[in-house]
Amino acid sequence: MTLKDKINEDLKAAMKRRDEAALRGIRAIKAAIILAETAPGHDATGDLSPETEIKILQKEVKQRRDSIDQFKAQNREDLAIKEQEELTVIEAYLPQSLSNEEVEAEIRNIVSEHGTTSLKDLGKIMKAANEKFAGRADNKLVSELAKKILEG
């Protein structure tokens, strides 16, 4: 079952439950998928790869987190709560996240495999980490841990 099929099923279920938070989050995902499918340069089959689906979800999660930070800075807790509800719904579709310890261990393995020793090689580490984690770790966390490991 593709993400698009799961989203459609979950959308129907949320409508039946009259779950407004789930509806907002699921509709956001569905809209992002439709945009990606109709984007110029996308293949004509209409199907997205699992990697592309994960990237779409990660982008939606990042947008919600940024919005939450902005709303909190503006003392708009009402809007921050709505964004948090959508964030929770969207995160449920992402693969299970790795713990900080697991991420750090994997980054140490990547660093040793590539034989990197300085921050100049951060790009190589990030590229390898992004391929390895594929949506299971926050890029901001990966970047911070990689910098810490390369500096230390």
Question: For residue range 98-152, what is the model confidence (pLDDT) as tens digits?
Answer: 788 888 888 888 888 877 777 787 888 888 887 787 767 777 888 888 888 877 7
DSSP 72: H
pLDDT for position 129: 83
Q: pLDDT band at residue 88, thresholds of 50, 70 and 90? A: very high
pLDDT for position 113: 84
Please write the tens of the pLDDT for every residue from 48-80: 888 888 888 889 999 999 999 999 999 999 999
pLDDT for position 82: 95
Which residues in 28-45 are b (16+ Cβ under 10 Å) and which e?
Answer: bbbebbeeebeeeeeeee
Mean pLDDT over residues 73-93, rounded?
Answer: 94
pLDDT for position 45: 62
Please name each of the domains of the chain with its CATH number: 3-91 (1.10.1510.10), 100-151 (1.10.10.410)
- pLDDT: which is higher, 46 or 62: 62
